[in-house]
Structure 1
Amino acid sequence: MQRVFTSIDESKQDSKWKNLFNQRWPAYRAWLESNNSIYDSRAAHEALKSYMPEMVTMHERLCHLVNADEAAFCFLSGFQPPVYSSACSQAVSARGAVQLVRNYDYHLDRFEGVLLKSAWNGKQVIASSDCLVGVLDGMNEEGLTLSLTFGGRHVVGFGFGLPFILRYVLEFCSEVHEAVEVLGRVPSHMSYNVTLTDQTGIVRTIQVSPDRPLIITDAPYSTNHQGPIEWTEHGVFSDTGQRASHLDDLLARGLSGDSLVRAFMHPPLFKSNHSKGQGTLYTAVYKPTEGSMQLLWPNASLNQSFESFSEVQIPITYQHSENSHA
């Protein structure tokens, strides 16, 4: 199984992002329609204006650029998207140089495969893209670094897709405490864990949910549950408990730097069962004090930074193992 991973450098939304939209929108529209999505542009606009007002101008530029219809307008706002879930593991090591390492585990057929460097609102951001606007993991020029994992809960409620909220965080926040404030006031429609760090090495893992207050912890890692495992089937399928215990042990032993990165490239953190829809699609390493990051695969790598960012297309072959539980 092969996919092409693309890196794009475009400070303002222009032809490159428009081309990306034109390529991916048909699949996203089909996803919306398969979930019987209801489009309400007025509600989407009002929610964006109420919770993330600084994003309104950006949203308008995006919609104008692609001549968005009602469906695209709502989709690009991030408001009330369909339900979706991933697996993923992430950890921050502050021993030596600060770094955030994460594995993104998701369905290969729904993988956007784009790393975008932008300055849509004046602040440079490098981030793995999701839903054309959202962020799976990323870093801004001031060193604020973040990543998400699914929170392992069934509950769906009022709010935005978390990747859209994380875009807002990177566009307008500079430090961890500012990001925590945003996550506490902008509603997420599903449960997620967000691990944050910055150049000071402070670490917070935030548990967001649509039905209960924000939980702020100083845990340096997360997998796919919030406290006790609530969704048993997903917990077993994703091995969230095993991966969390493994990360806890690695960090307790002081693993950092390249040693921690290598651990993410092997089971139980690395998953190769792509046919079940939760294989590891990439490993990301962010170094906020250096303004640099890496994307890693078993047989390929990509080094990027704010000072030196290359536009490339990398074909990635994903190996499948029927017996993999990791």
Structure 2
Amino acid sequence: MQIAWRAISETTPGPIWAGLFAQYWPAYRRWFLSEGADARPTYLECRTALQQHMPEIMPLYEALCDLAGGGDLSSRFLSFYRPPPYLSGCSQAIWPGKEPVIVRNYDYNPLAFDAIFLNTGWHGRRVMGSSDGLWGLVDGMNDAGLAVSLTFGGRRIVGDGFGVPLILRYVLQTCETAAEASDVLARIPTHMSYNVTVLDRKRRFATVYMAPDRPAIVSHNAVATNHQERVEWEAHARMTATVERERFLLQRLTLHVEPEEKFIGAFLKPPIYSTAFDRGFGTLYTAVYRPRKGEAELRWPGARWPMRFNGFVDETRSIHVPAPVAQQKPA
């Protein structure tokens, strides 16, 4: 399976982002309306919620709404407030070596994926990471040396809150330390359950278990897969092997401290690496963030793509993602 990835940078919101929105909006519009327009909150509700919970990014939100054409529906979508539910897989862990490093696999449907690594300097804060919804992020880091990554929390409950990719954007726009990020993640309401791991340049880290129906839990866990303190959705847990993946990573972290490269390599092989694309949980990429160095990498079996704040290069790459034998065409 080939995926066309793009590395894109824009210091201030402008024509590049507007072009991306014009390209992706038809697909996102269909998804946003999948349950009907009345199932989504009104523009006033969206704006009020953003103003209440994330006031610092209101000017950025307004600028992006203008670039998207200023329409009611697109502005509601860009708020990420009470979006349609969606599920992902994912594994993430903090490597316990001398250099602060967070490694993650993003397991998701390749047909519902931006495939953009976005580098921005919006409102004076440099942020780069894997795009979702064109300004939200599923993982990333900022120039203050803070990195974040998410996994689905393995619960079916949907509530009154924001899509977590926007929450990650907000964290990276406004926070500099793991403690600040943890406080924000515990405060902002999320519409579904997610586990967000944060790591700063001084090796301080936390994993926050977010949920729409109960207070967030801030833990010192270095590993997160697709459940929280215990499995609550048995069928999803079995399908994604969340317990097995967590156990595998914990064993690698606790039995001995292995070299960084060997630890990263474990994410490119089973049981962490998944080819379950037919169920929407295949590994689309492995991300490695080194927040103190301002460096990141996207990896696949047999390929790597380095990124850095200093010397970021805009380019497009066609990435081969291994598919299971049943999905491969005969030679």
Q: Common fold, TM-score beyond 0.5?
A: yes
Kindly state the Cα deviation for residue 38 of structure 1 after the two structures are TM-superposed: 2.5
Select which of 311, 317, 322 maps to 1:319: 322
Asked if 2 retains the 8 angstrom alpha-carbon contact of 1:104 and 1:280, the reply is yes
Kindly state the Cα deviation for residue 275 of structure 1 after the two structures are TM-superposed: 1.9
Count residues in correspondence: 324
Asked if 2 retains the 8 angstrom alpha-carbon contact of 1:97 and 1:257, the reply is no
Q: Which residue of 2 aligns with 1:290?
A: 293
Select which of 303, 308, 324 maps to 2:306: 303
Q: Which residue of 2 aligns with 1:15?
A: 15
Q: 2:275 aligned with 1:272, yes or no? A: yes
Asked if 2 retains the 8 angstrom alpha-carbon contact of 1:39 and 1:70, the reply is no
Q: 2:123 aligned with 1:108, yes or no? A: no
Q: Distance in 2 between matches of 1:185 and 1:316?
A: 38
Select which of 247, 263, 267 maps to 1:245: 247
* Structure 1 segment 66-145 matched on structure 2, within 5 A: 66-145=68-147
Q: Distance in 2 between matches of 1:111 and 1:291?
A: 25
- More displaced stretch, 263-272 vs 63-72: 63-72
Q: Distance in 1 between matches of 2:219 and 2:67?
A: 40
Q: 2:4 aligned with 1:4, yes or no? A: yes
For structure 2, the 5+ residue unaligned runs are none
The Cα offsets for residues 175-200 of structure 1, whole Å up to 9 and x where unpaired, read as 01111111111100100001111111
Select which of 56, 60, 79 maps to 1:54: 56
Q: Which residue of 1 aligns with 2:266?
A: 263
- More displaced stretch, 100-109 vs 252-261: 252-261
Q: Distance in 2 between matches of 1:70 and 1:194?
A: 30
TM-score, normalised relative to structure 2: 0.95
TM-score, normalised relative to structure 1: 0.97
Q: Distance in 1 between matches of 2:208 and 2:153?
A: 10
Q: Distance in 2 between matches of 1:157 and 1:22?
A: 29
The Cα offsets for residues 203-252 of structure 1, whole Å up to 9 and x where unpaired, read as 10110001111111111110000122110110001000000000100111
Residue 313 to residue 84, structure 1, CA distance change in 2 (3 Å): same
Shift >6 Å, 4+ stretches: none
For structure 1, the 5+ residue unaligned runs are none
Kindly state the Cα deviation for residue 273 of structure 1 after the two structures are TM-superposed: 2.1
Asked if 1 retains the 8 angstrom alpha-carbon contact of 2:190 and 2:212, the reply is yes
- More displaced stretch, 63-72 vs 78-87: 63-72
Q: Which residue of 2 aligns with 1:200?
A: 202
Asked if 2 retains the 8 angstrom alpha-carbon contact of 1:273 and 1:323, the reply is no
SS at match of 1:59: helix
Asked if 1 retains the 8 angstrom alpha-carbon contact of 2:34 and 2:84, the reply is no
Q: Distance in 2 between matches of 1:69 and 1:232?
A: 41
SS at match of 1:34: coil
Q: Distance in 2 between matches of 1:242 and 1:94?
A: 20
Q: Distance in 2 between matches of 1:38 and 1:154?
A: 18
Asked if 2 retains the 8 angstrom alpha-carbon contact of 1:160 and 1:189, the reply is yes
Task: Read off the aligned partner of 1:200 and give its amino acid letter.
Answer: K
Asked if 2 retains the 8 angstrom alpha-carbon contact of 1:188 and 1:210, the reply is yes
SS at match of 1:115: strand
Identity of aligned residues (%): 40
Select which of 211, 214, 225 maps to 1:212: 214
The Cα offsets for residues 10-69 of structure 1, whole Å up to 9 and x where unpaired, read as 011111111110111100001112232434000000000000001111111001112131
Q: Distance in 2 between matches of 1:109 and 1:156?
A: 23
Q: Distance in 1 between matches of 2:305 and 2:2?
A: 17
Q: Distance in 2 between matches of 1:159 and 1:102?
A: 25
Query: CA RMSD for the aligned pairs?
Result: 1.3
Q: Which residue of 1 aligns with 2:173?
A: 171
SS at match of 1:182: helix
The Cα offsets for residues 58-81 of structure 1, whole Å up to 9 and x where unpaired, read as 111001112131111011111111
Asked if 2 retains the 8 angstrom alpha-carbon contact of 1:169 and 1:182, the reply is yes
Asked if 2 retains the 8 angstrom alpha-carbon contact of 1:101 and 1:286, the reply is yes
Asked if 1 retains the 8 angstrom alpha-carbon contact of 2:89 and 2:225, the reply is yes
SS at match of 2:314: coil
